Structures are given as structure tokens and as C-alpha cells.
């Protein structure tokens, strides 16, 4: 049975200054928003954050940016966030930009215990500078190392007491692979079942990867609202 936290503040108490954390989500979809808010309140600092992007100016990981709690960001997309741009240009924030597919595979490799792999993505670009490049079957490939984290914060639609998780549609995104790549994984779920009756064929993240779980209601903000104009 996994630990079920009573509050989001309790769930993040082990995350200390200088920790490396992975945070699930794509844009604002599938982010563990209440765990992020608890980190903001904790005032933990000097974080290295691994996530697809860094939220927006007033929500998600953008809140940690505003508080200057992030020292380094490892991700694949930096749009929609003016504070992110400001901190990068001023030298306040260190950034490692990675092609999105490579980022996903580096995280997956970390969870699978694979230390490194070769990919053609980025070969011949500034990303390849200083990297080992080898030729396979007439094509150049660049060596990329796996990514792991001290803590992974993920979000799921449904979880049980054993830590098994089910995600909702595209909110699945980076969450399963990050759950596997964290030394300790904390799952924020929308619904929780005491008994283990989840259909094993429907489980996306087995409980073996999850250390703690907490139930929370998400705002589910829309990153960019598009509506149809009336005729």
C-alpha cells in the first residue's frame, strides 16, 4: 500500500533546495497543479526542473519561475512565457533545450535503466556541439544520456491504494515515463479508489513506480482559448 498524503504541503516536504524534479504535463494539460502550488508555498529553491515546458506566466511552473525557485530548466518548448524569456536573457535562468522526441526518450531511458542511446535528431545543429557523433548505416547519430530525477510529480485521472494510475486521454503525455524516471514519484489524482479493482489492462502506470498519492481538484485552465465567432 502506498502512502496517501493528507495535504499537498505534506506531499512535497521531502523536496529540498537543490533537488532535481520532473513535472508531468504538456502545456497546461495533465500538470500536477496542486503539487506545484504546494512547492510555491514551500519556497524551496535552486531547483532543476525537467518538463516539456515551463507553464505560462501566471500558472503551472510559471509560478515557480516568478518566485525565482528554478535555477535550471530542461525542456523542449519555451513559448507562452514572458518571464521565462526575461530570466534567460538576463542570465538568471540556465536552460537546456532538447528536441521533444529526444526529451521523451531520454526520460523513458532513465526509467528503463538505459544509460544512453543514439539519435539522429539535432545532428548538424548547435545541439550537437560537444556531443559524441557516430555513423550507423550511412547516417550520423548523436549520443544522448538518460534523464532521471530526485522526484517526479505526475498527475492522473484515477489511482488506487497500490499506486496504480490511469490517465485521461492526452493528459497522459509525459506523465507515465516521468513516473518511472523519478527516485521518488508523487501522484496527484482526480479520483481515488480504496480497493484495488482497477482493470490491469487499463492501468498506464503500475504502482511499483509510485511512492505516494494524493487526491485533488484541478482548475484545468485552458492555455489558449479559441472560440467560434457568431455569424
What is d(CA 144, CA 221) in angstroms, rounded to the nearest whole number? Answer: 34
| Cell reading at 126 | 548547435
Domain boundaries, the chain: 3-215
- In this prediction the pTM is 0.94
The whole-angstrom separation of Cα 175 and Cα 48 is: 18
Model confidence pLDDT, tens digit, residues 65-82: 999 999 999 999 887 789
Q: If you write DSSP's letter for every residue of 55-122 in order, what string do you get?
A: -BTTBTHHHHHHTT-EEEEEES--TT-HHHHHHHHHTSSEEEE--HHHHHHHHHHHHHT--EEEESTT
**109-156 per-position pLDDT tens digit:** 999 999 999 999 999 999 899 999 999 999 999 999 999 999 999 999
Residue 196 — pLDDT band, cuts 50, 70, 90? low
Confidence of residue 222 (pLDDT cuts 50, 70, 90): confident
Is residue 107 pLDDT above 90, yes or no? yes
The CA distance from 130 to 144, in Å, is 11
Residues in the chain: 231
Predicted pLDDT at 18: 98
| Homologous superfamily (CATH) for 3-215 | Glutaconate Coenzyme A-transferase (3.40.1080.10)
DSSP 174: T
Q: What is the pLDDT of residue 26?
A: 95
Average pLDDT over residues 12-17: 98
Amino acid at each position: 500500500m502506498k502512502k496517501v498524503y493528507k495535504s499537498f504541503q505534506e506531499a512535497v516536504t521531502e523536496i529540498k533546495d537543490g533537488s532535481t524534479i520532473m513535472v508531468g504535463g504538456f502545456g497546461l494539460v495533465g500538470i500536477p497543479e496542486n503539487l506545484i502550488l504546494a512547492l510555491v508555498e514551500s519556497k524551496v529553491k535552486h531547483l532543476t526542473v525537467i518538463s516539456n515546458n515551463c507553464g505560462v506566466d501566471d500558472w503551472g511552473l510559471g509560478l515557480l519561475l516568478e518566485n525565482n525557485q528554478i535555477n535550471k530548466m530542461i525542456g523542449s518548448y519555451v513559448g507562452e512565457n514572458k518571464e521565462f524569456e526575461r530570466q534567460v536573457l538576463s542570465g538568471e535562468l540556465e536552460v537546456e533545450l532538447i528536441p521533444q522526441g529526444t526529451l521523451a526518450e531520454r526520460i523513458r531511458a532513465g526509467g528503463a535503466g538505459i544509460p544512453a542511446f543514439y539519435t539522429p535528431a539535432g545532428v548538424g545543429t548547435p545541439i550537437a556541439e560537444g556531443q559524441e557523433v557516430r555513423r550507423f548505416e550511412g547516417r550520423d547519430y548523436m549520443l544522448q544520456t538518460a534523464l532521471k530525477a530526485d522526484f517526479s510529480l505526475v498527475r492522473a485521472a484515477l489511482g488506487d491504494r497500490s499506486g496504480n494510475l490511469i490517465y485521461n486521454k492526452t493528459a497522459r503525455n509525459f506523465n507515465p515515463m516521468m513516473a518511472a524516471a523519478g527516485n521518488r514519484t508523487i501522484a496527484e489524482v482526480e479520483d481515488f479508489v480504496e480497493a484495488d479493482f482497477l482493470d490491469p489492462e487499463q492501468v498506464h502506470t503500475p504502482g511499483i513506480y509510485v511512492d505516494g498519492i494524493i487526491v485533488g481538484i484541478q482548475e484545468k485552465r485552458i492555455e489558449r482559448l479559441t472560440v467560434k465567432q457568431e455569424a
